[in-house]
Structures are given as C-alpha cells and as structure tokens.
Amino acid sequence: MNLRPFALTSLALTLVAGCGAAPSSDTSPLGLDLLVEKAVTDQLSAFQIVVLPDGKQRDCTELQKTCLNQKVRLDELLPLHDARGRESRALRFLENLSGTGVTSQDVSFEAPVGRDYVLVIEAISNESPPRFLGSSCNYLPEVNASRNDPVIAAPMTLTTVDCDPTF
C-alpha cells in the first residue's frame, strides 16, 4: 500500500452535549462529528477513540507519531461508554462516512466527568492486520456532567507507520 503523506486537513471533531445515552452520575455524554476528506476514505476501516488523564503532562506531538498502544498502557486509558452503554477503554467506531467531497460521521460516547484530559482519535486502515494511519490529539481541560464546550480537533496527517493500533 502506498500511503503518500497528505493531510486530513478537514478532519474536525466537535464535542457537544446532549448526544448518546442518558448520563450516569459519573459520566457525561459527548458527541463527535468526524469530517474527513473524501480522497482518503478508501483507506479507512475505523476510528479508535481514547481519553487519557493528566493531559497537561502529555505531549500530543509525541503521542501522534505512532500507535498510541506503544506509548501508554491500557490501564492508563479512562473507561468510556458507547451509545449502547458498553464500556471499553478504547472505543472503536467502524468507518461509516457519508456525503460528497468532505464526508462526515456522527459518533457519541460517554466519558468520566473530570479535568485535564487528552482525547486521541486514531485512524485505522482497512488492511489485515490493521495499520495506524494517523491520529488527532486534543486537550480537554474539563468534561462536565451537563454542558460541554465545543472542541475542534487538531488536524490529522496520514503517515506510514507499521503498527497495529488496536488495544
């Protein structure tokens, strides 16, 4: 596979309140709107979403160079819940993009209420075994039980890294 480097410059994620299942006492619903250039969608299989504590102590540039599972331990990841209420430390959403030119996909999940987090979204290839296509790393200063301010994700650049990002 020839992965020529090009930016997913229109990959933007917006976190908004009100998406997903009703929140429990210690989680907050978050919605992600994934926007991706149509030109790269033929390489994508899924997106993997994780949230890490101690965001101010983490270097997003370093976290994005290769698979996150080579940088952090599974027990460091915060527990997340998908829209059906299933818990996982790394949520995986199959690529289900729609639209023309710039395609989009809505994703929702619940994250623990707290402060100083990092949200990492990894693009996963459709190869077997899966390969890391790139990631977006975003500081989340606070996740509230009720209303969350919108967050625009950092752009994702596709890279050729021979690692399986699956946790």
Chain position carrying tokens 């430390």: 89
At position 100, the amino acid (one-letter code) is: T
Q: Is 87 inside a domain boundary?
A: yes
Sheet with 87-88, strands from edge to edge, namely 27-37, 102-112, 80-82, 87-88
Q: Is 164 part of any domain?
A: no
The answer to whether residue 98 is domain-embedded is: yes
Q: Which domain holds residue 12?
A: 7-157
pTM above 0.85, yes or no: no
Does a structural domain hold residue 162? no
CATH number of the CATH domain containing 17:
2.60.40
pLDDT tens by residue, 7-46: 332 333 333 323 333 334 455 556 555 555 554 567 788 8
